[in-house]
Amino acid sequence: MDLLPSEDQRDLIAAATDFLESRMPIEGIRARDGQPSAVDRDAWLEGAELGLLTLGLPEEYGGSGRLLDDEALLFATLAEHLATGPFLTSSLAARVAAQCGDLDLVGRISDGSVLVGLAELRGDGSIGPEGIKGTFDLIDCAGVSHVLLVTELGAAIVDLDEFPDVETLDSSDPGIRLATSTVTAATVRHWLPSGTDPIWLRATVLSAAGLAGLANAVTRLATEHAKLRVQFGRPIGVHQAIKHACADMAVASDAAMSQTLFAAVCVQSGRQDALFHALAAKTVASRAAIANAGATIQVHGGMGYTYEHNAHLYLKRAHVISHLFGEPTQVLADLLEQGAPQ
């Protein structure tokens, strides 16, 4: 048993961090405020070249063939740097396309020329191999050609053109773009049943990883501020109100990251309680990300409440991710229905 990042994995995190800090700085979110797409296309292409979209894709399809815990670390790192663009859905879509035999699409997602956004069904409707129906939130679909839809039963790739009357909405997270569309009938380009590959399960683990990454990042942000910010002649971190808030954040984010990596390993080793642990990871990571981001704003005082500071971007991202691939209350209901873990 080993749950610590290997040297390989530490290298992976370091390379992704380097790339994100230099090519996708958080400042870019504010710089692209008001632009149709949140994505910096040049940086996206570079990221694709670096292999950020194909880390878990089997080597036979041109990917790196790395395991889910590697991917979890990557998506945590992406979230820690508030990377913009549909990384998760594009990665998952490449996997779907590969298993559906659409090697052309795999290649175009992999080289960054095709981006795949996410559609989430809101209210009644259906998603299946025969088609989709209902009102959908379109997340980061500005400028993409394809859309991924994920359900417990399987995952679908649909052309964006199939969504009529796309209405752009103001997103609560300035780092993503939001739109809505009501579909009466639309063709599904690819359908991958979860029996073949449980995309929903992977999406749950990887979104938990993103949330854990957010929780981690804000803990670091608050802790650093507490060390440096001087009030009453001493760094504010000497005060228990601040120190203990940081300690609680540290516990929450450690719990979230530990559980997420545990879940990733459970999924990749096919453990019977993999779903249990994935749902648990999403639950603890959602709560940690939202609570820690809120606490980080408080630790920063007025500064943390400004648009210029990054704290709110983490908070907003945390809320968005917590609503993807299953509402929090649904995740809890599913979790309670599982048998006891091994």
Partner 1 sequence: MDLDFTAEQVEFREQVLTWLTEHKPRESRPRDDAGIREYDLAWQRTQWEGGWAGIAWPTEYGGGGLTLLQQLIWYEEYAAQGLPGIDACFVGLNHAGPTVMLRGNEEQKSFHLPRILKGDVIWCQGFSEPEAGSDLASLRTKAVIDGDHLVVNGQKIWTSSANCADFQELLVRTDNTGSKHDGITWVIADMHTPGIDIRPIKTMEGGAEFCEVFYDDVRIPLSNVVGEINQGWSVAMSTLSFERGTAFTANQVRLAKVVEDLIDFSRDHVGPDGRRPAIADDEIARRLARSRASVASLRAMTYVGICHTMKSDTPGPRGSMLKLHYADLCKEIAALAMDIVGADGLRNSSRWDPMGWVGNYFYSFSQSIGGGTSEIQRNIIGERVLGLPR
- Residues engaged in binding a copy of itself (CB under 8 A): 239-241, 244
Residue 33 or 104: which CB sits closer to partner 1?
A: 33
> Residue 238, interface with partner 1 (CB under 8 A)?
yes
- Exactly one of 11, 130, 185, 234 binds partner 1 (CB under 8 A); that residue is 234
- Minimum Å distance from CB 11 to partner 1? 15
With CB cut-offs between 5 and 8 Å by kind, which of partner 1, a copy of itself, none does residue 25 bind? none
Q: Does 179 bind partner 1 (CB under 8 A)?
A: no
Would you give the binding string for partner 1 spanning residues 265-304, x where CB under 8 A is met? xx--x-x----xx-xxx-xx--x------x--xx--xx-x
Nearer to partner 1, 70 or 102 (CB): 70
Question: Binders of partner 1 among 19-58, rule CB under 8 A?
Answer: none
CA–CA separation, 262 and 266 (whole Å)? 6
Are 248 and 215 within 8 A, CB to CB?
no
CB 241 to a copy of itself: min, Å: 4
Of 43 and 183, CB closest to partner 1: 183
Query: CA distances (Å), 336 to each of 216, 325, 340, in order?
Result: 27, 17, 9
- Please, are residues 277 and 341 in contact by the beta-carbon 8 Å criterion? yes
Regarding 225 and contact with partner 1 (CB under 8 A), the answer is: no
User: How do 116-128 and 146-150 pair as beta strands?
Assistant: parallel
For the bound state, the minimum distance from the C-beta of residue 74 to partner 1, rounded and expressed in Å, comes to 13
Pairing of strands 154-159, 190-193: antiparallel
For residue 94, which of 129, 63, 120, 140 has the smallest C-alpha distance? 63
Q: Of 199, 183, 174, nearest to 307 (Cα)?
A: 174
Which residue number, 10 or 244, has a Cβ lying nearer to a copy of itself?
Answer: 244
Which of partner 1, a copy of itself, none does residue 259 bind (CB under 5 to 8 Å by kind)?
A: partner 1
- How many residues at the interface with partner 1, by CB under 8 A? 91
**Binding partner of residue 45 among partner 1, a copy of itself, none, CB cut-off 5 to 8 Å per kind:** none
Compute the least distance from the CB of residue 111 to partner 1, in Å.
Answer: 29
Residue in 7, 60, 165, 308 binding partner 1, rule: CB under 8 A: 308
Contact status, residue 115 vs residue 144, Cβ threshold 8 Å: yes
CB-count exposure of residue 185 (10 Å: 0-12, 13-18, 19+):
exposed
Contact 146, 93 (CB under 8 A): yes
Q: What is the rounded distance in angstroms from the CA atom of residue 185 to the CA atom of residue 206?
A: 30
Say which entry of a copy of itself, partner 1, none residue 113 contacts (CB below 5 to 8 A, set by partner kind): none
Instruction: Give the Cβ contact number of residue 264 at 10 Å.
Output: 28
Residues 73 to 112 in contact with partner 1, rule: CB under 8 A? none
For residue 135, what are the β-bridge partners?
Answer: 122, 182
| Minimum distance of partner 1 from residue 80's CB (angstroms) | 16
Between CA 262 and CA 90 the distance in angstroms is 24
Q: Is 170 in the site for partner 1 (CB under 8 A)?
A: yes
Closest residue by Cα to residue 286 from 333, 329, 330, 319: 319
Q: For residues 5 and 25, which CB has a smaller minimum distance to partner 1 in the complex?
A: 5
Residue 195 vs 339, nearer CB to partner 1: 339
Q: Binding of partner 1 at residue 255 (CB under 8 A)?
A: yes
Nearer to partner 1, 43 or 246 (CB): 246
CA distance 167 to 35: 15
Q: Give the torsion sign (CA, 186, 191, 193, 198).
A: negative
